[in-house]
Amino acid sequence: MATQRVVVVGGGLAGLTAAYALTRAQPEADVVVLESSGRVGGNVRTLRRDGCTVELGPDAFLTRPGHAEALCESLGLGGSLRAPDEGASRVMVAHRRGMQPLPDGMALGMPRSVSQLARTRLLSPLGKARAAMDLVLPARDEPEATVGALVGARFGQEVKDHLVEPVVGGIYGGDIDELDAATIMPMFANVRGSLLRALASAPRPTGHSPMRAPHGGLDGVVHELARALGPDRVIREAPARRVARHDDGWSVHLDDGVRLDADELVLATPPGVTADLLEAESPELAELLRRFRLKPALTVVMAFERASLQLPRASGALIPRNAPAPLNALSAVTFVDRKWPARVADHLSVVRTAFRPAHALAWMGASDADVVRFAREALSTILPLPEARWSAVERFETGTPCPEVGHTRRATECRARAAAMGGLSIVGAAVDGPGIAGCVRGATAAAEAIATRISGIRG
Ligand SMILES: Cc1cc2nc3c(=O)[nH]c(=O)nc-3n(C[C@H](O)[C@H](O)[C@H](O)COP(=O)(O)OP(=O)(O)OC[C@H]3O[C@@H](n4cnc5c(N)ncnc54)[C@H](O)[C@@H]3O)c2cc1C
């Protein structure tokens, strides 16, 4: 039996994980990863400067469902995993009365009890009364609701605008009036009656953060994956342009006329790229993939003399979309030395801010100096900022897929259509994510399925 060849297109976390998991499950398979750029890791970008380790892209991963943690263990990084500092677990929300703490224990900004509502200064008395009406409002029946529609209908506009929008918008970078409740809050999307009652009986957070990241930075995961695969298995500056199906497998066509044949093909590229690659083979699947909308992202990091900056004792602040301009161009700010104290040199304070997608797009082509000046001006409205010692800007033109209404259904259909074509797997943030935890789970599952098929062939 000839060695089975697997080509993985895309050297982000999903593609590298799929390749790594496959080499572990099926060591005799001939696996190769094609990455279009000169570096692997995709969105994972870690900055090291002046004794600081700062994430410009993803900051940490969710420990549920556990695959990302298991991957780190397997790579020898288990001992280096850290949770954000518990002493600064509070999250602030920018509000017209300055920054106010988000009440503890909320579920994506949704309150779990009337008493929790009563204590927060983020809502007016009227807003609190409207939210409590959730207990007596008639049941609703709206299939495929957005997060905004679901929360607004049950809790009213204030909970939607001052609690849920900043939290959900901050995590998913999208508009809560477009984001899919079934994908983002699956436990509650099908609740027809009171959300407060459903939330009260849902499992409570433990009080410990479910987020983890290697102490040395998330790019350590990328480097360990690439190292474990070895230089012959990871080919950089190799953009795939087209894939074609044959009787006995697939071929991948690169820019320079090179063709690679594969028994199994894994596409771990952003969904628009995956659609282009598959256009000739399955216009229907390509069309489905193009319906995943990507949100560009832009992050700015600023470092200050620690003695010159008074940060609240919190991991950061969320910024509601209805905050006054120019602050509303930003979705969140992380106080890096509060959240990850061991990652920042003692004499510095580091602040990282993320632009809302529309503003990220608008500022994508501006100079670093202009972007930093604007971010600084916007942030100064809630946090007086001294002169920065240094700053950095990172642009994510592709960004991340936004889980809009119908997302989970579309993702399932994509995977099913790919499987029906034989020897094709689609993995990554659109179909498995949008976060690292989902990407690692999806890539591992795809690798295990391929390994099973290969061992079936080998008999
Ligand atoms: C600013 C930001 C913050 C985030 N924060 C978090 C967070 O805190 N926690 C979390 O869990 N998630 C976070 N995410 C999401 C997380 O980054 C993604 O879930 C994950 O990195 C996606 O990995 P991926 O491999 O699917 O895609 P990508 O990282 O996009 O990788 C795709 C790869 O494919 C390559 N490629 C593209 N075209 C081709 C081609 N034609 N041929 C070959 N290769 C190609 C690209 O160069 C890239 O390397 C964040 C994302 C961003 C942008």
Render pLDDT for 223-243 as a digit per residue (tens, 0 to 9). Answer: 999 999 999 999 999 999 999
More reliable by pLDDT, 174 or 24: 24
Is the CB of residue 336 less than 8 Å from the CB of residue 113? no
Residue with CA closest to ligand 1 atom 2: 57
Please choose from 400, 402, 426, 431 the residue to mutate so as to test ligand 1's pocket, defined by most ligand atoms within 8 A of CB: 400
Nearest atom in ligand 1 to the alpha carbon of residue 398 is 30
Q: Is 58 in the pocket of ligand 1 (CB under 6 A)?
A: yes
Question: What pLDDT is attached to residue 143?
Answer: 75
SS3 136: coil
| Residue 310, token pair as written in the block | 């008074």
Average pLDDT over residues 203-227: 92
Residue with CA closest to ligand 1 atom 27: 12
Q: How far apart are CA 122 and CA 94, in angstroms?
A: 9
Closest CA to 63 of 208, 223, 200: 208
So what CATH class is 5-40+215-292+404-458? alpha beta
Question: What pLDDT is attached to residue 174?
Answer: 83
| Residue 234, token pair as written in the block | 């990871």
Question: What pLDDT is attached to residue 104?
Answer: 87
Average pLDDT over residues 164-174: 91
Residues 6+ away with beta carbon under 8 Å from 361: 296
Least confident of 16-20, 297-301, 400-404: 400-404
Is the CB of residue 440 less than 8 Å from the CB of residue 448? no
- Amino acid making up residue 22: L
Domain boundaries, the chain: 5-40+215-292+404-458, 46-64+76-87+293-401, 105-201
Q: How far apart are CA 112 and CA 102, in angstroms?
A: 13
Least confident of 72-86, 142-156, 225-239, 380-394: 142-156
Closest CA to 447 of 9, 17, 5: 17
| Residue 25, token pair as written in the block | 């499950």
Within a 13 Å sphere around the CA of 407, how many CA atoms are in the beta-carbon half? 27
Question: What pLDDT is attached to residue 362?
Answer: 98
Q: How far apart are CA 243 and CA 446, in angstroms?
A: 19
Helix%, strand%, coil% for the chain, nearest 5: 40, 25, 35
Question: What pLDDT is attached to residue 31?
Answer: 98
Query: What sign does the dihedral 37-40-44-49 (CA atoms) show?
Result: negative
Average pLDDT over residues 150-172: 95
- Residue 459, pLDDT > 80, answer no
Question: What pLDDT is attached to residue 75?
Answer: 98
Question: What pLDDT is attached to residue 51?
Answer: 96
Q: Is 60 in the pocket of ligand 1 (CB under 6 A)?
A: yes
Q: Is 61 in the pocket of ligand 1 (CB under 6 A)?
A: yes
Q: Are strands 240-246 and 249-254 parallel, antiparallel or unpaired?
A: antiparallel
Q: Is 435 in the pocket of ligand 1 (CB under 6 A)?
A: yes
Mean pLDDT, the chain, as a whole number? 94
Is the CB of residue 376 less than 8 Å from the CB of residue 355? no
CA of 223 to the centre of ligand 1 (A): 15
Average pLDDT over residues 112-139: 94
Closest CA to 352 of 332, 326, 382: 332
Please check whether the domain covering 105-201 is classified as CATH 3.30.365.10: no
- Residue 205, pLDDT > 80, answer no
Residue 234 pairs in a beta bridge with: 33
Nearest atom in ligand 1 to the alpha carbon of residue 34 is 43
SS3 21: helix
Q: Is 69 in the pocket of ligand 1 (CB under 6 A)?
A: no
CATH code of the region 46-64+76-87+293-401: 3.90.660.20
**Fold agreement between 5-40+215-292+404-458 and 105-201:** no
Question: What pLDDT is attached to residue 203?
Answer: 83
- Residue 456, pLDDT > 90, answer no
Global pTM value: 0.95
CA of 113 to the centre of ligand 1 (A): 37
Question: What pLDDT is attached to residue 3?
Answer: 82
| Residue 46, token pair as written in the block | 């870690």
Residue with CA closest to ligand 1 atom 39: 36
Average pLDDT over residues 50-74: 96
- Residue 264, pLDDT > 70, answer yes
Q: Is 255 in the pocket of ligand 1 (CB under 6 A)?
A: no
pLDDT by residue (tens digit) across 350-407? 999 999 999 999 999 999 999 999 999 999 999 999 999 999 999 999 988 999 999 9
Residues 6+ away with beta carbon under 8 Å from 160: 148, 151, 152, 176
Nearest atom in ligand 1 to the alpha carbon of residue 43 is 29
Average pLDDT over residues 296-312: 96
- Residue 170, pLDDT > 90, answer no
Residues 6+ away with beta carbon under 8 Å from 84: 60, 209, 211, 315, 339, 340
Could you tell me the pLDDT band of residue 433, with boundaries at 50, 70 and 90? confident
Residue with CA closest to ligand 1 atom 15: 435
Could you tell me the pLDDT band of residue 331, with boundaries at 50, 70 and 90? very high
Q: How far apart are CA 387 and CA 398, in angstroms?
A: 31
CA of 407 to the centre of ligand 1 (A): 18
Residue with CA closest to ligand 1 atom 50: 58
Closest CA to 335 of 366, 296, 309, 373: 309
Q: Are strands 61-62 and 52-55 parallel, antiparallel or unpaired?
A: unpaired
Of the chain, the percentage scoring pLDDT greater than 70 comes to 99
Nearest atom in ligand 1 to the alpha carbon of residue 41 is 49
